[in-house]
Structure 1
Amino acid sequence: MTVLNGLDRLAAGAALIIAGALAPQVALAETTLKVADTFPPGHYIVETGTKYWMERVTELTDGEVQFQYFGAGQMGSLRDMFSMVQSGVVDIGYVPPAYNGGTMPLAGVHTLPGLFSQSTVGTPAFYDTVTSGPILENDFLKNGMRPLWGVMTSTYNLFTRGKEIDGLEDIDGLKLKIIAGNMSESVKALGGAPVDIPSPETYQAMRTGTVDGAIFPTTSIYSYKLEEVIDTAVLGLDIFVYWAPYVIRDEVWQGLAPEHQEAMKQAAQEAMQRVAEETDRSAAELEDKMRESGIEVIVLDEAQREQVRTATAPVFDAWVSDLEERGMPGGEVLEAFRSNIEKHQKQ
């Protein structure tokens, strides 16, 4: 048996260290995640953000995280997305709080009217609000999921078919497609009759006369082909903004390597910025595009906008009071969101 002296042992140890440093690193196991949404083919959020995010995560993880994408409602309807993520049918899904108010009540703060006008402000402000504090704990983690990334749409305005609109008084009695919750309350405050219909069903509802019009994001009119069924657009109403988020089942998130989680966060920041900038750019161009499509465009003047703000002001108090009566910190969440909006408006 050979006995190593002290110098020999040091040399042998150094050789092992060098050999370990030169050895190829063991790659993390490849992960493939199922992603589902209900956006129609060609929707700008998918084209600008969703596809980019998936490709960027795969790039940042050197191919160790990949995705199977099921768009346009292939895996289920918008109202199915929440349960599909929870049950594991998909790993990542499009789960907007505006359609899940019963289980995500605090996140509904973003649906209050007139908080901001630009996606490049609202998107990062709400991401900051929703990824920490009461909204994260109550609306997401409690439901076994967490927000990955999301974007604020353009503001919602009024689009009608076969109805003459000269001013706000003409909204009175109109059956309008809405999303239940604060948008419904704002429409009621303006005299309209809200009808809760998922966005993918709006075209048919307007074509058949189920509704007289829709409160809809301006930048999504062409994605949903609504220019084919509307004849009047009322811009400047701005009574709602919609947050379109992708969420991941928390069990899946916890099973990811830390470096994969960081890659998703980095890709999320990049995707959100891309979509928010595209949202604001598109919204600025749409007035002329709608006129060229033969749609009558009415732009509210400042006096009419103030009339809208006055009419919808009670919606804030009602939202906060309702939550706090149920033991949830509505006022705290609203204050936090407003603070984050102010921060991003200054940047």
Structure 2
Amino acid sequence: MMTKTFLATLLAATAMTGAASAAELMRCSHQLPPGHHIAEVVDRWAAEVETLSNGEIDVQVFGADSLVKANDNILAVARGEIECAFSLNFQWGKTLPLMNVTIGPYTMSSIEAWKKWPDSEAAAYLEGKLLDKGVKNIAWMFQTNVSVFTSKGKALTKPDDFKGIKMRGLGPAFDRGLTAMGASTVSLPGSEVYQALATGVIDAAVTDVAAAYSRRYYEVQDHMTVVPVLAAYLHGYVTPSWYDGLSDTQKAALDEAGKKAAGWAIEASEKASADAPKQLEEKGVTVHIATSEENEAFRAAMQPAFEEGFASETGEEGRELLALIAKIK
């Protein structure tokens, strides 16, 4: 015969098991390595979603390309093969070139603008375009407005230094700027750049200054020039039909967690950008902070080529988006 205490314990355990099994599974894929500052923000966001949803959403994060490869994330979510993924804006390439607006050379490097971004008309405009492409945006995570040109043997400090080198590009429009300086570009996901640099498949790269450290580029490149050449962001998105099936509580949890994560990402990115140059120097890298004159030379060489490419890829929609961005710059 069961005692009342044992029965109560059994019922409680059954209820907990039922609640756990009823939790909405949310598998989220991204490409960032565990030590990356934004990977840590994604983990914090996942925990916040579970807390705010009272455990109704079970968020499972798979980083470092461990579930789906970086270039396949968008299609996997759009098809409903996984519920969620995070991508860098330039990974949209020609599918949605509007997402590349912030990587225009020296276009949007203001932290104050990024603080306004999640609630801006520009962000809402892109969310509508993302939905047209089959994904529902749920989070904006600013990653960097401080980049590095990495190299081996000597620093890249002026446009002429790029002549004849092969480097990892970020997408058609941005790469026009690199080509204008004489470089040839190769398309590679972030997870493959280290190996390409190590084996000489490419000579140089452009990346977030903090990513240069977290991805250990210092092991295969010995010079890095710090430049505010582009602003990149990671954004989280889900399958629309999956999102539509959520309760109001679950949707509210995603909304609130996304807004909090946007703030966390800015804080983490500012700290990472400030710490990374010294960390790289401690690993033996010769770090050069580009002067205002050097930045102006890069801007003059790269910006017209980017603007031409962005205009040809995006047309009237691109002009509309740039006008909206101008409101928060």
* Aligned residue number for residue 40 of structure 1: 33
Deviation at 1:152, TM superposition (A): 2.4
Alignment of 1:174-185 (within 5 A): 174-185=165-176
Q: Distance in 2 between matches of 1:197 and 1:172?
A: 20
* Superposed displacement of residue 131, structure 1: 4.2
* 1:287-298 matched pairs, under 5 angstroms: 287-298=277-288
Q: Determine if contact 1:157/1:215 at 8 Å carries over to the other structure.
A: yes
Shift of 1:331: 0.6
**What TM-score, normalized by structure 2, do the two folds share?**
0.86
**Counterpart in 1 of 2:13?**
none
Matched, 1:63 2:63: no
**Which residue matches 1:305?**
295
| AA of the residue aligned to 2:247 | A
CA RMSD of aligned residues (A): 2.2
CA contact (8 A) 1:120 1:280 kept: no
Aligned counterpart in structure 2 of residue 251 of structure 1, from 241, 248, 251: 241
Q: Does 1:336 align with 2:324?
A: yes
Aligned to 1:191, the other structure's residue is in SS state: coil
**Aligned twin of 2:128:** 137
The whole-number CA distance in structure 2 between the counterparts of 1:252 and 1:120 is: 34
1:229 to 178, 198, 220: 220
- Would you say the 8 A contact 1:119–1:151 is kept in 2? no
Closer, same or farther: CA 319–336 of 1 in aligned 2, 3 Å: farther
Counterpart for residue 194 of structure 2? 203
Q: Kindly tell me the number of residue pairs found equivalent between the two proteins.
A: 309
What is the CA–CA distance in structure 1 between the aligned matches of 2:28 and 2:68, rounded to whole Å?
A: 12
Find the aligned partners of 2:114 and 2:302 in 1 and give their Cα distance. Answer: 19
After TM superposition, give the deviation of residue 118 of structure 1 in Å: 4.7
Query: Identity of aligned pairs, percent?
Result: 22
> Which of 130, 141, 160 is residue 151 of structure 2 equivalent to?
160
- Amino acid in the other structure paired with 1:54: A
Quote the Cα distance in structure 1 between the aligned partners of 2:118 and 2:139: 10
The Cα shift of 1:194 comes to 1.5
CA distance in 1, matches of 2:50, 2:247: 14
Match of 1:73 among 65, 79, 84: 65
CA contact under 8 A between 2:104 and 2:307: conserved in structure 1? no
Distance 2:25 2:112 in 1: 31
Instruction: Supply the distance in 2 between the matched residues of 1:66 and 1:202 (Cα, whole angstroms).
Output: 32
Q: Verify the 8 A CA contact 2:159 2:301 in the aligned structure 1.
A: no
Q: Which residue is equivalent to 1:215?
A: 206
Contact (CA 8 Å) 1:177, 1:194: kept in 2 or not? Answer: yes
Instruction: Return the alpha-carbon distance in structure 2 between the equivalents of residues 92 and 162 of structure 1.
Output: 41
1:267 CA drift (Å): 0.9
| Unmatched segments (≥5 aa) in structure 1 | 1-26, 343-347
1:319-340 superposed Cα distances (whole Å, 9 cap, x missing partner) = 4531455xx4111101112212
Looking at structure 2, the residues matched to 295 and 103 of structure 1 have their Cα atoms a distance apart, in angstroms, of 36
Aligned equivalents of 2:196, 2:164: Cα separation in 1: 17
Q: Which residue identity lines up with residue 76 of structure 1 in the other structure?
A: V
One-letter amino acid of the structure 1 residue matched with residue 36 of structure 2: H
- Say whether 1:149 aligns with 2:139: yes
CA contact (8 A) 2:173 2:310 kept: no
- Determine the C-alpha separation between the residues in 1 that align with 2:219 and 2:119: 34
Letter in structure 1 aligned against 2:23: E
Which protein, 1 or 2, shows the higher relative CO under an 8 Å CA cutoff with sep ≥ 6? 2
C-alpha offsets along residues 257-313 of structure 1, whole Å, 9 cap, x if unaligned? 122212111111111211211111221222222222211112221111111121123
Distance 1:285 1:96, change over 3 A: closer
Partner SS, residue 25 of structure 2: strand
Contact 1:36 1:70 in 2 (8 A): yes
Q: Does 1:273 align with 2:266?
A: no
> Match for residue 171 of structure 1?
162
User: C-alpha separation between the residues in 2 aligned to 1:107 and 1:80?
Assistant: 17
Instruction: Give the Cα–Cα distance (whole angstroms) in 2 for the partners of residues 34 and 67 of structure 1.
Output: 6
Distance 2:326 2:242 in 1: 32
Looking at structure 1, the residues matched to 111 and 138 of structure 2 have their Cα atoms a distance apart, in angstroms, of 17
Q: Cα gap change, 1:111/1:260 in structure 2, threshold over 3 Å: closer, same or farther?
A: same
| Paired residues of 1:93 and 1:247 also in contact (CA < 8 A) | yes
Matched residue type, 1:107: M
User: Aligned residue for 2:82?
Assistant: 90
Contact residue 118 and residue 280 of structure 1 kept, 8 A: no
- Asked whether the 8 Å contact 2:157–2:294 carries over to 1, the reply is no
Q: Distance in 1 between matches of 2:165 and 2:70?
A: 25
Is contact 1:123-1:276 (8 Å) kept? Answer: yes
1:188 aligns with 2:149: no
Partner SS for 1:95: strand
